[in-house]
Amino acid sequence: MKIFGKKQKKQEHSLIDDDLSNSELLPSHIAIIMDGNGRWAKKRALPRIAGHHEGMKTVRKIARFADHIGIKVLTLYAFSTENWKRPKSEVDYLMGLPEKFLNSFLPELMERNIRVTMMGNKEGLPKHTQAVLNNAMEKTKNNTGLILNFAMNYGSRAEIVQAMKEIINEVNSGNLAIEDINEFKVNQYLMTSHLPEPDLLIRTSGEVRLSNFMLWQLAYTEFWFTDTLWPDFNESTFSEAITAYQNRNRRYGGLKGEE
């Protein structure tokens, strides 16, 4: 397997790097709704799983680039709680992708100091999928570079409901007073409690909706949508999204930068 060294990575992306001139405005956390694998395959008269296989290659490519330019967290919406409704053959293939991806990519993740994390209901995944995720998270837990966070069997509404149940239990047990419940406290019970909120959300394939993804966390996130199908998404498209983010005025409800 090809492992990129620091010098080669710089040569590989030097032209794109020049476009990210506002490096001080680089988003810390980027979340991506990876969409369009099936349509990519259909356009080529291929089975849907071929699109998912190609999309896996894009995950590797974008993780490398995010690490290279200094992104702190990259969250990828890999499998939603609604995706179980898809045909069993497709679901089975998707449940095998983490093994194909992580087993082959793990040496490079270690080389690049990338840490793998996951958000979602892990217990609801097949045992073999859980095993490969647990292995990758354990092997990379001490890495201090990019956090590559996979949303697997994840749904934002279920996440919020679970957080509310835990808060209610804390109140009923006398460990938390109702008057102490605020946004900060709710954040502590979400699956992203260890992460900063996303600065930039990207969705591919031309769809313009959140699809039950990080509804609480995206309150002040900048959105960027592209018609590009996920398997065709590349470093240049990623750079375009980041440049658009850097040119926006994030006011958080205030009047920053305006009279």
Terminal Cα-to-Cα distance of the chain (whole angstroms): 55
Does the annotation flag 82 for ligand binding?
yes
From CA 90, how far away is CA 99, in angstroms rounded?
A: 15
Does the annotation flag 52 for ligand binding?
yes
Does the annotation flag 173 for ligand binding?
no
Does the annotation flag 68 for ligand binding?
no
From CA 248, how far away is CA 201, in angstroms rounded?
A: 13
**Paired tokens of 31:** 């979340």
From CA 36, how far away is CA 164, in angstroms rounded?
A: 33
Q: Are strands 73-80 and 115-119 parallel, antiparallel or unpaired?
A: unpaired
Does the annotation flag 84 for ligand binding?
yes
The active-site residue, picked from 17, 83, 135, 187, is 83
227 is catalytic: no
From CA 110, how far away is CA 225, in angstroms rounded?
A: 31
Does the annotation flag 37 for ligand binding?
yes
Does the annotation flag 210 for ligand binding?
yes
Does the annotation flag 80 for ligand binding?
yes
The active-site residue, picked from 19, 22, 35, 212, is 35
Residues 147 and 117: beta-carbon distance below 8 Å = yes
Does the annotation flag 48 for ligand binding?
yes
Closest listed residue to residue 33, CA positions, set 211, 194, 196:
211
Does the annotation flag 90 for ligand binding?
no
Question: What value, to the nearest 5°, has the Cα angle with vertex 108 and ends 224 and 134?
Answer: 80
Does the annotation flag 60 for ligand binding?
no
83 is catalytic: yes
Annotated binding residues for substrate? 36-40, 48, 52, 80-82, 84, 86, 203, 209-211
Annotated binding residues? 35-40, 48, 52, 80-82, 84, 86, 203, 209-211, 222
Residues with catalytic roles: 35, 83
Annotated binding residues for Mg(2+)? 35, 222
